[in-house]
Amino acid sequence: MPTSHELFLEASKIIPGGVNSPVRACRSVGCEPLFIASAKGSKVTTVEGKEYIDFVESWGPMLLGHCHPEVSSALHTAVDLGTSYGAPCPNEVVLAKLILEAMPNMEMVRMVNSGTEATMSALRLARACTKRNKLIKFEGCYHGHADAFLASAGSGVATLSIPGTPGVPDVVVADTLLAAYNDLDAVKAHFEKNPKDIAAIIVEPMAGNMGLVKPAKGFLEGLRELCTKYGALLIFDEVITGFRLDFGGAQKRYNVKPDLTTLGKIIGGGLPVGAYAGKREYMSQIAPSGNVYQAGTLSGNPLAMAAGIATLNVLKKSDYNALESRVKRFCEELTAAFKANGITAFINSEASMFTIFFEGIEPQNFSDVKKASTEIYSKFYQHMRNEGILLAPSAFEVAMVSFAHSEADFEKTLQAASRFKI
Ligand SMILES: *Cc1c(COP(=O)(O)O)cnc(C)c1O
């Protein structure tokens, strides 16, 4: 088999940047990407046959680890029943029920094919329901690559330092109002200036796309109150947090009720999927029960439904608290290992996610995030990769831990980190 380097050279001639999603290129950490031949549990194996402990987890979907036996077996069964019908299949009903049971504030759900599709459809719906156009989003939050959201859109864009967003007409982002994460006053000011024009606030209820930034106490509650007061819809983008922060997502963990929720990643168990959910009064306005048009040739795809159902059924029985305590302890051990080598780092962690901010502070927003050293992160990334450990190839991302990560994996990762010197 050709090596990663050879494949990357080939790919670069025929695929823009050699990759099908920008951050995979590893440019910001000064490396070439590794081409993966297979994955199992907590590990991925490259085309060279080298095995790595994986903290990328396909950017979030693989909370059970790769090739979980129940997910694989559900997929094998599904393949033999046909891969797409263009007509409803029973598992669409099963997955819808599983999602709505986990998020009792949501009453109806529509399946789509990616997180991007989910957020862009949710925004269309919010605009239709409120008959308003403006949207508030937070700096550093990422909601997929639809035009309206490509203003200060977190890691992918930040990592590559793309100035603005060529190809997006000014008029499209003109309705996107920005605020700093955790800054309720800024949100309030937008509403006071545009009391009857704001359709929705979209927020990552725990930000994961600028590195891990937690919602400050009262922030999400404050957004809820402002939306209610001004008649705007609150959209929780739970594409990362759904089924990861808790089985019921951030809305369960933080006990705040959004009007609409967008999902993706985990609910497809590693297959391309997205969904948006919400109150019946809003969701029933989607075609064909209402006039808000949204469709998809492969939406509710039988393979994606099978993988999603199997994943959620295993997660339902999984011990989220145990994983969270293990990750917390690991982060403390990691901080101590850095300290022993004279390296200062603030590690922010929540549930099964963490971000290392070298020489950084506990971040409240995107400008705090940017105080951390990307240079040290790049060196650390390269060091760990040499040691057989794959972290996110960007300082502005979260490390994802799965239920498949073992004591030995944590120990090996810690030992490798303790050999890092600057
Ligand atoms: C990954 C992500 C998206 C986009 O999902 P895709 O499936 O990549 O289109 C949207 N919102 C958030 C919070 C995400 O992390």
What pLDDT was estimated at residue 162?
A: 47
Told to judge if 379 belongs to the known catalytic residues of this protein, a careful annotator would answer no
Residue 182 Cα, ligand 1 centroid: separation in angstroms?
Answer: 20
Q: Is 265 among the residues known to form the active site? A: yes
Q: Where are the alpha helices (DSSP H) in 212-296?
A: 219-230, 249-253, 280-283
CB 107 within 8 A of CB 172: no
| Six token digits for residue 119 | 């957020």
Q: What is the pLDDT of residue 155?
A: 58
C-alpha 298 to ligand 1 mean position (Å): 18
Distance CA 272, CA 117 (A): 11
- Rounded-to-integer distance, Cα 344 and Cα 341, Å: 9
Residue 286: DSSP 8-state: B
How confident is the model over 342-379, as pLDDT tens digits? 999 999 999 999 999 999 999 999 999 999 999 999 99
d(CA 270, CA 310): 11
The per-residue pLDDT of the chain, averaged, comes to 96
Sheet order of strands, 198-203 included: 108-112, 274-278, 260-264, 233-237, 198-203, 134-138, 176-179
Residue among 209, 235, 241 whose CB has most ligand 1 atoms within 8 A, to mutate: 209
For residues 262 and 238, the answer to whether their CB atoms sit within 8 Å is yes
Distance from chain centroid for Cα 277 = 17
Tell me how far apart the alpha carbons of residues 370 and 210 are, in angstroms, rounded to a whole number. Answer: 9
Distance 133 CA to ligand 1 centre (A): 22
Residue 24 one-letter amino acid: R
Structure tokens at 110: 């529509």
Closest CA to 396 of 157, 89, 219, 168: 157
Residues lining ligand 1, Cβ inside 6 A? 114-116, 119, 142-144, 204, 208-209, 237, 239-240, 264, 274
Q: How far apart, in Å, are the Cα atoms of 105 and each of 118, 229, 240, 280, 295?
A: 18, 19, 18, 10, 24
Closest CA to 35 of 22, 18, 15: 18
Q: Which of these is catalytic: 43, 134, 137, 265?
A: 265
Query: How close are the terminal C-alpha atoms of the chain, in Å?
Result: 36
Q: Ligand 1, atom 11: nearest CA belongs to which residue? A: 143
- Tell me the C-alpha distance between 237 and 220, whole Å: 12
Atom of ligand 1 nearest to the CA of 204: 13
> Rounded to an integer, what distance in angstroms lies between the CA atom of residue 195 and that of residue 187?
11
Angle ∠(310,316,319) on CA atoms, nearest 5: 125
Residue 237 annotated to the active site: yes
Q: Counting atoms of ligand 1 from 1, which one is nearest the CA of 274?
A: 7
CA dihedral 133, 259, 91, 272 (to 10 degrees): 50
Tokens of 227: 């939306």
Choice among 52, 142, 282, 377 that is catalytic: 142
> What does the pLDDT look like over 213-244, one tens digit per residue?
999 999 999 999 999 999 999 999 999 999 99
Q: What percent of the chain has pLDDT over 70?
A: 97
Ligand 1 center from residue 420 Cα (angstroms): 32
Q: Which of 403, 298, 318 is nearest to 82 (CA)?
A: 298
Alpha-carbon gap, residue 391 to 388, rounded angstroms: 10
Q: What is the pTM (predicted TM-score) of this model?
A: 0.97
Atom of ligand 1 nearest to the CA of 59: 1
- Select which of 54, 237, 368, 409 is catalytic: 237
Q: Do 407 and 61 meet the contact criterion of CB atoms below 8 Å apart?
A: no
Q: Which residue segments constitute the domains of the chain, with CATH numbers given?
A: 1-44 (no CATH), 69-316 (3.40.640.10)
- DSSP code of 370? T
Collect the ranges in the chain with pLDDT lower than 50: 160-163
Calculate how far, in angstroms, residue 239's C-alpha sits from the geometric centre of ligand 1. 6
